[in-house]
Structure 1
Amino acid sequence: MEKLKFAITTFIVLLLFSGCKKDFLEKSPPDALTEDGFYNSAERAQLGVNAIYVALQGSWSENLMRINDVPSGDLVLSNTTPLEYNNYTYYPALTQIHATYSGMYQGIIRSNAVIKNVPAINMADALKNQYVGEAKFLRALNYFTLTNLFGAVPLITEPLENTDAALVARTPVADITKVIIADLLAAEAGLPVSFSGNNLGRATKGAAQALLGKVYLYNKDYTNAEKYFSLVIASNRYSLMDNFQEVWHRSFENNKESIFEVQFADIGGSGTNLKNGTMLPAVNGATGSTLATKRAFDAFDPADPRRGMTIFKAGDVFAPNVSAALAVFNPTWSASGYAVKKGMWPIMYVNGSGINYPLIRYADVLLMYAEAANELNQIDKARDAVNLVRQRPSVMMPKLTVVDTGTKQTMFDAIVKERQVELMFEFQRFMDLKRWGMAATVLGPLGYQAKHALFPIPQLELDINPKLTQNTGW
């Protein structure tokens, strides 16, 4: 799927469609079409849904990586601008913050158009329910991400009649969460359990259940979180990949561990997705721009095979098939002495190589289930779930036991550790630390302060919408 970057403000009343290599997104006219009168057939309904997926590519991009993963301390920016994300000196006018905010609203506005217009189309009910379900899942995903990044944001659930209609105040997070849950419940009811062929990669019932569980977990409703994670597990449709490295390998996209991932086409060209050349160290005397840190490297137990599958260190096999000079990783290529390996192996030296980005995978669900079960004092069930992740054939870390995780606190500590090393560089760590109330302690030495619990509302949005207010401290 081709990643498209649109120059937009927060809200748009146009649907923009563009051709995509993934077949389920390729039936798009070359020009922009207005929404009015567009939704008049099942094919047009599909195009409307496909446009939401295109917007998703822009939202889950290098911009989001910079504002979400770099502040976790596991990544550091180098040889690029802006560097403010490294030490929490970022501010409301930075491009990455606005691009993430506006990109997610682009997806929301397109979702609203589908949800409003598709029910009136004369088409098969099952397909109609699927398309509306996909739109509601994607709207929920966007709003859930926005509220976790920015807190209260404007809640828009209807197509906008004009640009002035977008000038609304922020809605309390609790009210937005109600819409998110309602959307996901509707998506769960309307989405099929799986897709195949050209439709592989669309949102499924399992994706809706997994995201529902995550929403409940973040809101400390552990009973419902455990319920929906259990549904995903009991479906028997997902399992762990034997080889940890294949989870992110370009040859194993939409694999058995993937519950939902952003689809990118192997079309080449700079900036096709966030896992591109910016995460590799350069070998011409400069450095890559997004690098693994020593802090990230030290988070792994020395015997954990995932460390060598996640991070390049001095002496590691690098790119022997490219040239002798690149056969072994040289720490002088990187300002931190390390580089990201997850999702970058084998080294292709092709910017924008089209690797899909898994947003929800089965290992994450198992660890979230363990967290919910532990909070419900089901410590044995929590330990079993964590051990499944640790005992992946290519990992085989020692099983946790009652001796080392026999209490709720020791089990929680083990889950915290496991989530960091299993899900490193996957947009999880910073959000986890904040929701656990651990960010000030863990990240304080790097510059984290209370105001960093939320990102600032983008300055451009404040400038064009007088009803918006800024987050505290910004």
Structure 2
Amino acid sequence: MKKLIILFLAIGLSSCDDFLKENVRGIISPNNFYNSDPEAIQAANGLYVTYREDVYRNWAGITTWQFFGTDEIMPSRIFGGLAAVMDYNLTETNYANAYGMWQDLYRVVGDANSVIANLKDNDKISIAVKDRSMGEAYFLRALAYHNLTSIWGDVPFYTEELTLAEVGVLGRTDKSQIRTAMIEDLKIAEGLLPSSYTGSDIGRSSKWAAKFLRTRLHLWLEEWQEALDACKDIINNSPHKLMPTYGEIFDVNNQFNEEAIFGWDHLTGVQGQTITDSFNPRLRDEPRNSAQRNEFAGVLASRGEEFNGYGLAVPSDDAVAKHPNDLRKPYNLMDSYLGYDLTYTYLKKRTNFDFVQSPRGGHGEWWITMRMGQVYLMAAEAANEVGDASAYDYINAIRDRAYEEDASLSGLSKDEFRKAVQDELKWELLGETERKYDLVRWGIFYETIKNTNYGRFSGSENVQPHMQYAPIPAEEIVLNPALLESDPTNNGYR
């Protein structure tokens, strides 16, 4: 039986707008596709579309598993499946959006496998396009497996084109084995991808994004020297650097700034995202003095602004109480606006109240997921573990930007420095990236959640050590009983 490739295609690739707008699903035979450069680019673009439209587009996307249920972000109210995440009462059938994430990430894996297999020895495609498209596929597949192993631990692993029947009998592969394989793939990607882009290609994955992700995987495997070497390469040789001030990182008028290494681009009103809506306040909650609500709405309107978001994702009570009084605080915590006290404290850097340029349901903000601030702190972590004194240079570069007065660290023990990095990552990247993954990686997930104040949610009372990973959804187990062969407990949930 002829294998079919299921791809999300971005048709019409002459501009960035086209790349962002199109989302056409097709079923294409390898025999009549991959015959030209535009078709190869279409195939690679399809991988971005799945991420942008399904994984990173809305409040119920991958962020559910990256910072909700941590010491960083919590819902302002009980809402949908997030209650199960925050209360740590997940089951095989009560799992928030886990089933959708599993399907979306494996869709990327399957499509990336097809792109690589059909381009590798294809002499109909120019070398430049083949290299870039394959590099993107290697990178985006590795990113999918990074998320899969971080959320579920051991998962099915395959890098060849397989039929649905073949995929449906795969058991789980050890997560460390998967990470090791993806490190090798990312090294290939680094050799294929360009260092930077211009014009309509800005925002695509570069060799530095691949190296960033490889660093993350080295850290998971405690390959400290390899992680440090990769960070040094990014710091010393990439076009990226720390922005002079923290606030400049999040300037909506300069989103593709020098600090940003990779993220997910969206197009206002056409293929916009709703993640910003989850951070934007809603007027029905604000301001704290409800008698001022109409007046406040008028003041906002005079500025071309609205509080028209979901008001859902807010810094945890714990983060609000413990945030240091540094230069990042005004961008991380907003408890008043235009002189009005607010009911909730919001993550200011993730909001945009401009209802014309950033409308509800169609925000165009670039969702940055990799930036230089994290590179410096990953370098500090790795350097500390190998006893390299440069660890202080890296962490103090971040602290120098974060504090008005000198806040340099020195003379710490290895354990003290490790804790300092963990704390610094929290405040530098609050609500931006993969806090839960890091808590698991550091082996402090359980103790952190047990000691975090979640307000109305019961996570700190309910959490158990095995809950560092999610249960594989029951629907997948019904389709593929082999998922229980290596672990009949389904990550401890049975």
Structure 2 length normalisation: TM-score? 0.84
2:381 to 362, 371, 375: 371
Indicate the larger mover: 135-144 or 168-177.
168-177
> 1:174–1:437: structure 2 CA closer, same or farther, 3 Å change rule?
closer
Question: Which of 181, 194, 200 is 1:192 aligned to?
Answer: 194
2:367 is matched with which residue: 357, 368, 375? Answer: 357
- For residue 344 of structure 1, what is the amino acid of its counterpart? T
* 1:419 lines up with 2:425 in the alignment: yes
Q: Distance in 1 between matches of 2:270 and 2:134?
A: 32
- For residues 399-457 of structure 1, what are the alpha-carbon distances to aligned partners after superposition, in whole Å with 9 as ceiling and x for unaligned? 3232xx43222222211111000011123221221111112211124132111121111
The residue number in structure 2 matching 1:339 is: 346
Identity of aligned residues (%): 25
- Residue 459 of structure 1 corresponds to 474
Q: Is the 8 A contact 1:39 1:121 kept in 2?
A: no
Moved more, 64-73 or 49-58: 64-73
Equivalent position of 1:51 in the other structure: 46
User: Residues 155-174 of structure 1, C-alpha deviation per residue, up to 9 Å, x if partnerless?
Assistant: 12122234454431111213
Which residues in structure 2 correspond to 1:75-474 (within 5 Å)? 75-77=73-75, 78-82=77-81, 83-93=83-93, 94-119=95-120, 120-267=122-269, 272-285=272-285, 288-301=311-324, 303-313=325-335, 316-317=336-337, 320=338, 328-331=340-343, 337-345=344-352, 348=355, 350-351=359-360, 352-378=362-388, 380-392=389-401, 395-396=403-404, 398-402=406-410, 405-445=411-451, 446=460, 447-469=462-484, 470-474=490-494
Q: Which whole-Å CA distance do the structure 1 matches of 2:70 and 2:440 have between them?
A: 10
2:183/2:217 contact within 8 Å kept: yes
* 8 Å CA contact 2:72, 2:426 repeated in 1: no
Residues 362-397 of structure 1: CA deviation (Å, up to 9, x unaligned):
00010000000010111x3111111111222x7545
SS at structure 2 position matched to 1:193: coil
Letter in 2 for 1:309: Y
Q: Distance in 1 between matches of 2:107 and 2:405?
A: 43
Whether the aligned pair in 2 keeps the contact of 1:153 and 1:171 (CA below 8 Å) is yes
Give the AA of the match of 1:25.
F
Residue 343 of structure 1 aligns to which amino acid in structure 2?
Answer: R
**Residues 63-74 of structure 1 mapped to structure 2, 5 A cutoff:** 63-74=61-72
Mapped contact 2:91–2:493 kept (Cα < 8 A): no
Question: How many Å apart are 1:250 and its aligned residue?
Answer: 2.5
Change (3 A) 1:285 1:428: closer
Conservation of the 8 A alpha-carbon contact between 1:299 and 1:421: no
CA contact (8 A) 1:23 1:199 kept: no
Work out the CA distance in 1 between the residues paired with 2:341 and 2:352: 13
Q: Which runs of 5+ in 1 are unaligned?
A: 1-10, 321-326, 332-336
Partners of 2:66 and 2:47 in 1: CA distance: 22
Change (3 A) 1:211 1:128: same
Greater alpha carbon shift after TM alignment, 147-156 vs 290-299: 290-299
Q: 1:453 to 1:395 in 2, by over 3 A?
A: same
Give the superposition deviation at 1:329.
Answer: 4.0
C-alpha change, 1:148 and 1:31, in structure 2 (3 Å) is closer
Q: Match of 1:291, as an amino acid?
A: V
Contact 1:249 1:345 in 2 (8 A): no
Conserved 8 A contact 1:262-1:356: yes
Deviation at 1:12, TM superposition (A): 8.8
Q: CA deviation at 1:288?
A: 2.1
Which deviates the most, 83-92 or 149-158?
Answer: 83-92
- Contact 1:275-1:355 within 8 A present in 2 as well: no
SS at match of 1:14: strand
Shift of the alpha carbon at 1:305? 2.0
Is the partner of 2:170 in helix, strand or coil?
Answer: coil
CA–CA separation in structure 2 for the residues paired with 1:64 and 1:207: 18
Deviation at 1:347, TM superposition (A): 5.4
Structure 2 distance, partners of 1:466, 1:409, is: 43
Q: Which residue of 1 aligns with 2:8?
A: 16
Please tell me the root mean square deviation across aligned C-alpha atoms, in Å.
2.4
1 CA distance for matches of 2:447 and 2:285?
36
CA contact (8 A) 1:213 1:224 kept: yes
Change (3 A) 1:365 1:31: closer
Cα 1:209–1:397, aligned 2, differ >3 Å: closer, same or farther?
A: farther
Q: C-alpha distance in 1, partners of 2:29/2:145?
A: 22
What is the SS of the residue equivalent to 1:16? strand
The count of corresponding residues between Structure 1 and Structure 2 is: 442
Question: Matched residue of 2:261: which SS?
Answer: strand
Question: Residue by residue, what CA displacement relative to the aligned partner does 1:137-181 show, whole Å, maximum 9, x if unpaired?
Answer: 111111011111111111121222344544311112132123201
> TM-score, normalised to structure 1's length?
0.87
Secondary structure of 2:244's counterpart equals coil
Task: Give 3-state SS (helix, strand or coil) of 2:284's partner.
Answer: coil
Give secondary structure in 2 for the equivalent of 1:70: coil
Native 8 Å contact 1:28 1:47 kept in 2: no
Which has the higher mean CA deviation after the structures are superposed, 62-71 or 358-367? 62-71
Residue 13 of structure 1 contacts residue 163 of structure 1 at CA under 8 Å; is this kept in 2? no
- Change in 2 beyond 3 A, CA 1:368/1:29: closer
Q: Is the 8 A contact 1:12 1:163 kept in 2?
A: no
- Separation in structure 2 between the aligned mates of residue 190 and residue 175 of structure 1, nearest angstrom: 23
Distance of aligned partners of 1:163 and 1:395 in 2 relative to their CA distance in 1, 3 Å threshold: farther
SS at match of 1:259: strand
Structure 1 residues 27 and 33: alpha-carbon distance in aligned structure 2, compared to 1, 3 A threshold: farther
Closer/same/farther in 2, CA of residues 31 and 103 from structure 1, 3 Å limit: closer
Equivalent-residue separation in structure 1 for 2:71 and 2:28 (angstroms): 43
